[in-house]
Amino acid sequence: MDTSTESIEGYAIDVACIRKNPRNELLEKARIHSKECALMGHCVESGYGLVTEDDRLTLLDPKATQKVVDVIEESDTQQGIRLQVTREERDGTMETATVSEL
């Protein structure tokens, strides 16, 4: 079985906040996105994405949500939390394998 993996580094931001901000301001907003906001109930429920320094947005799969929450809860960083996510291809979709703070 041939699986491909990828590693993405970027600022964690919840999908609720992604939706409410203009796309051209997303990197700026992700850099200051607060830990408090990322852990609010409706934000957690919306799922997460990563915004890279070169302004690419990657939405994470639903299975990533709890891993992201665990890392954010343990973080001492109050805003602009940068994560490294490793994903593996399974049945044609990319699933999150690991999440760690940078």
pLDDT digit string, tens, across residues 48-98:
999 999 999 999 999 999 999 999 999 999 999 999 999 999 888 899 999
* Backbone dihedral angles phi then psi of residue 4, each to the nearest 5 degrees: -105, 145
pTM: 0.93
pLDDT at 92: 87
**Which of 11, 13, 64 minimizes the C-alpha distance to 39?**
13
Residue ranges per structural domain of the chain: 5-101
